[in-house]
Structure 1
Amino acid sequence: MKILYSDIRPLATEDGQETIIDCITEQIKKSDSIDIAVGYISKVSLEELERLVEENKIQHVCLVIGMYYIEGMPENSYHAAMKINEKWKKERIGEIRLVRPLKYHGKIFCFSNHSQCFASVLGSSNLGVIKPDASNLRQYEIDVLSEDAKECSDLKKFVDALEEDRCSANIDDIDPKALTLIHEQNVSLDGIDTVEQMPPKGVKLYFQHQTDISFELPLKVPSFDERFLDDNKHFTKSNINVCYANPRNKRKSRDWYETQMTVAKQITRLPGYPEKNAPFFVVTDDGYWFKAHTTSDGNKQFSAVGDELIMGRWLKGRLAAAGLVAPVNDTQKDTARLGMITKEMLEEYGCNTVVFTKTDQQALDDDDRKLDVWTLSFENKNK
């Protein structure tokens, strides 16, 4: 048995001591098969495991996660796990499973070669130890490495039992409605002067005052395979992906958050739809408050007043917080258009429309004008 350490001051590793991350990485290099059973994971650690599996040409991998089925799972980790699980299943090398009948809080890493478990790591470390992030950067763990044949065999046998259907299920086989997804906070609107955050009670109050005047606004996006088709039919140069249109200034890319909510005439002409250039307040389902209006020919543009990035920060920020897309710093350099919002992303998120509903409430703006208050919802319909 060998003790493994974290390397965090003032308990930095000393000469002759091995870190947990170095040991796990080294054992993966020696393996053709790995089985891991932990309580918790993170999105970045999942992606790091995916990289290690691919880099070391691992032939079999199974990750069992023990706490989320009962406690709920962070939304961004869930979407990352679904994507990686699909990839491993397609490549026929492994899967990601969730323990169902109980809370499993143990942490075991088993490393095998030619069907023989030759090393195991057991201790306090969840999967996040292989790729620390802000949440566990100062979290000290201590584990042990066993290369004893009997101990390794017993631990592998235990993990094999966790992988059986009586204990766990493939994450893709679990009904999303049976799994509580914990939504990550959309921080892309933080610090915007014209946007306020509301307490949950305030949001709930406005949603309780909704009227029957309501409009469902479709989000026009291409499929993943259509993301290079630049005609208006495929919406790569308009609506939520307008940031990929030709930049106004050739030396400066459009901001990734730039968004145009283009609403069809059959909606804008319906009774009760806001008049052109008449401002109103919106309160979003996740607690943001800002002023908006409808503009342009045919009253087709729906946007926040004074900042064309706010709607994008709200919509795309939600998708980024869910782990479905990463914000792009320079859209002109995103030649693969991986930052483009697609039908597949919205399908995985569980919503492809924004619901816009009038309330019976009004509020004063900075000019002491009474403005109507509307609600905006972009909710996962699978919750």
Structure 2
Amino acid sequence: MELLSSEFTPSKFGVNTFTHKWERLFGESSEVRICVGYISEESVNLLLKLVDSYPEKHLDLCIGMAQFDGLSKSQIRILGDLHTNLKTRGKGGVYIVQTFPFHGKIHMFTNTLSSLRTAILGSSNLSNIIRQEGIFRGNFEVDVYIDEASITDQLTKLCDSLVNHASVEYDHAVDGIPIINSTSMNALDEVREVQKIEPSTLEAIFRSATNIRFEIPIKTEERSSLNVYFGKGRAGNGIVRPRLWYEAALIVDKSVIQSSAGYPTFRSFWAYTDDGYRILMRTGGGNSKNLESAGDLSIFGRWIKGRMEAEGALDMGSKVTSEVLSKYGNKLLTLVKLDLQEMSPDGQQLLEVWAISFAPGKD
């Protein structure tokens, strides 16, 4: 038995984290059964990537509160994709609890070769499987890893009963699930490293704009830039971790960088977005061609892909294409230097400040 927790600075207790443990157990298991109250679109999307990467694994996902609290249209769509994927291959399915609201959080892992069965029991819903350094998910979760056979046997019986007697398969339940509106909260609103700026303050900041300006075309490469999600995953911790949906960077052409003096090459800088966020950005890579958020690459991705999602131009799990950009109404990111400097997060140096915009409907 082992205590697992979230990892929010400064509240680090020296115990293993849920996400690290979950990844290792998933990589070592041949069968996985997850019974939780709630899911997020992003976490189901990660499961889709994982079962594609490990087609031999059997996965059952049982959702306990969907029938009673409802799902968004985007959640319904991606759960349907996962269920179809699993059923087509004969490797599991998605189940919806019908009999009563189920609010538990049970993650079961079975290795059929060694007959080892383990579990994670506690407070983590499915959304906690997303590894995002620096991302604040809203709650500090505490779970327990269990390898004692007497307890895992009881949990197995509970999950069997829940799936077989209190639930129905997704395609038989979907028509009766209440549809709820997707949250209007921006994908950045729970990111600790990002500040929300009041409109009046933002307006005053933007009055410091200089004439140094760069128009950066949004590239639509198959497996890089905003589509790095479709690239090769990273190996480690006993599992090839798929790229996260919001992991993203812009690849800036040399011609754009050299189009005017003053491009922020090989440095970090503060960026104020046109919709009111303050993000720590950086440039790097060969010829300083990568434009990305500093520290956590998903922060910039949450901002730029989240805006396309909010406008209905991009579905989670789909590629950013020229058609998506046309539907969004903008194919350029604008970078304007401001006549300001602000202190770095570590308080060691003053950084340049830039305005960054990607407003919809400009084309």
After TM superposition, the score normalised by the length of structure 2 is 0.51
Q: Which aligned pairs between 1:303-322 and structure 2 lie closer than 5 A?
A: 317-318=311-312, 320=314
Aligned to 1:91: 89
Shift of 1:137: 2.1
The one-letter code matched in structure 2 to 1:79 is: R
Cα deviation, 1:166-225, whole Å, max 9, x if unaligned, reads 31111111252x21111225799xxxxxxxxxxxxxxxxxxxxxxxxxxxxxxxxxxxxx
Aligned to 1:167: 166
The one-letter code matched in structure 2 to 1:39 is: G
Distance (Å, rounded) in 2 between the aligned partners of 1:93 and 1:181? 28
Shift of 1:316: 9.0
SS in 2 for 1:181: coil
Contact 1:37 1:65 in 2 (8 A): yes
Distance (Å, rounded) in 1 between the aligned partners of 2:96 and 2:155? 18
Q: 1:161 to 1:135 in 2, by over 3 A?
A: farther
Aligned to 2:298: none
Gaps of 5+ in 2: 187-254, 257-306, 328-363
**Number of residue pairs matched?**
207
SS in 2 for 1:182: coil
Distance (Å, rounded) in 2 between the aligned partners of 1:127 and 1:314? 24
Aligned to 1:147: 147
Contact 1:186 1:314 in 2 (8 A): no
Q: Which aligned pairs between 1:205-244 and structure 2 lie closer than 5 A?
A: none
Distance (Å, rounded) in 1 between the aligned partners of 2:53 and 2:153? 26
Aligned to 1:2: 2
Shift of 1:12: 1.8
The one-letter code matched in structure 1 to 2:130 is: K
Gaps of 5+ in 1: 189-250, 253-312, 332-336, 342-383
Distance (Å, rounded) in 2 between the aligned partners of 1:50 and 1:124? 23
After TM superposition, the score normalised by the length of structure 1 is 0.48
Aligned to 2:237: none
Distance (Å, rounded) in 1 between the aligned partners of 2:131 and 2:67? 23
Q: Tell which structure's C-alpha radius of gyration is larger.
A: 1
Task: Indicate the larger mover: 87-96 or 135-144.
Answer: 135-144
Q: Which aligned pairs between 1:129-144 and structure 2 lie closer than 5 A?
A: 129-131=128-130, 137-144=137-144
Shift of 1:75: 2.0
SS in 2 for 1:118: strand
Distance (Å, rounded) in 1 between the aligned partners of 2:309 and 2:136? 28
1:107 and 2:105 are equivalent in the alignment: yes
Cα deviation, 1:349-375, whole Å, max 9, x if unaligned, reads xxxxxxxxxxxxxxxxxxxxxxxxxxx
SS in 1 for 2:137: coil
Aligned to 1:226: none
Pairwise CA RMSD of aligned residues? 3.2
Shift of 1:81: 0.4
The one-letter code matched in structure 2 to 1:150 is: S
Q: 1:315 to 1:132 in 2, by over 3 A?
A: closer
Cα deviation, 1:257-286, whole Å, max 9, x if unaligned, reads xxxxxxxxxxxxxxxxxxxxxxxxxxxxxx
Percent of aligned pairs sharing the same letter: 25
Shift of 1:53: 2.9
SS in 2 for 1:183: coil
The one-letter code matched in structure 2 to 1:88 is: L
Query: Which among 28, 31, 34 is matched to residue 32 of structure 2?
Result: 34
Query: Which among 79, 82, 87 is matched to residue 80 of structure 2?
Result: 82
SS in 1 for 2:311: helix
Contact 1:43 1:76 in 2 (8 A): yes
The one-letter code matched in structure 1 to 2:142 is: I
Contact 1:21 1:130 in 2 (8 A): yes
